C-alpha cells in the first residue's frame, strides 16, 4: 500500500490554495484541512463577542476564552464538502465574508491564538494522510511534511479570481477594493512577528497565474509519483 503522505500547501491569499488542496485530498482520498478557516472561525467568535472591531482589540478577553473555542470540519454529503463549525454551529458562509476577512489578520497575529491553532492542527490524525493549506504549514505546523508547495500568482489574477468568487456568491464589491484587501493581507501575512508567511527552504514554488486547475493537478500528480518512487 502507498505510504500516507503529509502535503503542506502554503502561499499568498487568493491563489487558489484551498481549491487545489481540496482536489488533491479528493484524488488521494486524504483528509483536507483549510487552516485559514480556523483563523476565520476564531475571528468570527471574537467579532460576535465584540472583542474585535474596527477601533479596538481586546486581546486579554480573547486569551481567556481561547480554550472555549471549538472548531470542527463536518462533512456535508449534499455538497460533498467539509464545512466549518464553530462551537457546533455551521459558520462556513459567514467566515468567508468581507468583515471576517478584514479582521482575520489581526487575530492571526496573536501569539496564543497561533499556538492553539497549531496544537489543534497537529492533533488531526496524520495516519490517514492529510493535505493542509495555510501560511505556516510547511514551516511551523508540519516542518517534516513529505511534500511542501508554496503557491503564488500575480496580484491581478488573484484579485480577478476573488472578484468572481464573491460575485458568484452574490456579494457586490469593487475590484479595486479587493486589490487593496489582498495587498493589505500580503503585508500583514509577510510581516507579522510570529510565523510570517515565507517559503520553506524545501518547498516547491507553484506560480499558477497561467495554469488551469487541471494543469495544476497534472503537475502535483507528477510530484506525488516522484515522491512515492523515491526520485
Ligand atoms: O487562507 P485564508 O485567506 O482563508 O486565511 C485567512 C487568514 O488567516 C489569512 O489572512 C492569514 C491567516 N492564516 C494564518 O495566519 N496561518 C494559516 N496557517 C492560515 C491562515
Of 108, 150, 152, 162, the one to substitute when testing ligand 1's pocket (max ligand atoms within 8 A of C-beta) is: 108
| Ligand 1 centroid – CA 100 distance (Å) | 11
pLDDT in tens, 67-98: 999 999 998 999 988 899 999 999 999 999 88
In angstroms, the CA 120 to CA 14 distance is 24
- Mean pLDDT of all residues in the chain? 93
| Ligand 1 centroid – CA 54 distance (Å) | 19
In angstroms, the CA 47 to CA 49 distance is 5
pLDDT reported for residue 127? 73
Which ligand 1 atom sits closest to the C-alpha of 192? 15
Residues touching ligand 1 (Cβ under 6 Å) are 13, 35-36, 39-40, 104-105, 108, 134-137, 185, 189
Nearest residue (by CA) to ligand 1, atom 8, is: 36
pLDDT in tens, 195-204: 899 999 999 9
Which residues, including other chains, have CB under 8 Å from residue 178's CB and lie 6 or more apart? Answer: 159, 162, 163, 166
pLDDT reported for residue 1? 67
Nearest residue (by CA) to ligand 1, atom 6, is: 36
Which residues, including other chains, have CB under 8 Å from residue 87's CB and lie 6 or more apart? Answer: 45, 68, 69, 70
Return the closest-CA partner of residue 146 out of 159, 132, 135, 134.
132
Does pLDDT of 128 surpass 70?
yes
For every residue of 53-120, which 3-state class applies, written as one string?
A: CCCCECHHHHHHHHHHCCEEEEEECCCCEEEEEECCEECCCHHHCHHHHHHHHHHCCCHHHHHHHHHH
- The SS3 call for residue 206 is strand
Nearest residue (by CA) to ligand 1, atom 14, is: 135
β-pair partners for 32: 131
In angstroms, the CA 152 to CA 207 distance is 5
Does pLDDT of 101 surpass 70?
yes
> Judging by beta carbons within 10 Å of its beta carbon (0-12, 13-18, 19+), is residue 176 exposed, middle or buried?
exposed
| Ligand 1 centroid – CA 210 distance (Å) | 24
β pairing state of 81-86 and 130-134: unpaired
Amino acid at each position: 500500500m502507498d505510504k500516507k503522505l503529509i502535503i503542506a500547501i502554503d502561499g499568498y491569499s487568493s491563489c487558489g490554495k484551498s481549491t487545489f488542496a481540496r482536489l488533491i485530498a479528493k484524488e488521494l482520498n486524504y483528509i483536507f484541512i483549510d487552516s485559514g478557516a480556523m483563523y476565520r472561525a476564531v475571528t468570527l467568535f471574537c467579532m460576535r463577542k465584540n472583542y474585535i472591531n474596527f477601533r479596538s482589540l481586546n486581546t486579554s478577553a480573547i486569551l481567556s476564552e481561547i480554550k472555549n473555542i471549538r472548531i470542527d470540519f463536518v462533512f456535508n454529503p449534499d455538497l460533498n464538502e467539509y464545512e466549518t463549525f464553530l462551537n457546533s454551529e455551521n459558520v462556513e458562509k459567514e467566515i468567508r465574508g468581507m468583515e471576517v476577512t478584514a479582521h482575520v489578520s489581526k487575530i492571526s497575529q496573536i501569539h496564543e491564538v497561533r499556538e492553539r491553532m497549531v496544537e489543534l492542527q497537529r492533533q488531526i490524525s496524520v495516519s490517514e494522510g492529510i493535505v493542509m493549506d495555510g501560511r505556516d504549514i510547511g514551516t511551523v505546523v508540519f516542518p517534516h511534511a513529505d511534500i511542501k508547495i508554496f503557491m503564488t500568482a500575480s496580484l491581478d489574477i488573484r484579485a480577478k479570481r476573488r472578484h468572481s468568487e464573491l460575485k458568484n456568491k452574490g456579494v457586490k464589491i469593487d475590484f479595486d477594493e479587493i486589490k487593496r484587501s489582498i495587498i493589505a493581507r500580503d503585508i500583514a501575512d509577510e510581516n507579522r512577528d510570529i510565523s510570517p508567511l515565507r517559503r520553506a527552504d524545501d518547498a516547491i514554488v507553484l506560480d499558477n497565474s497561467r495554469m488551469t486547475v487541471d494543469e495544476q493537478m497534472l503537475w502535483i500528480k507528477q510530484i506525488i509519483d516522484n515522491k512515492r518512487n523515491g526520485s
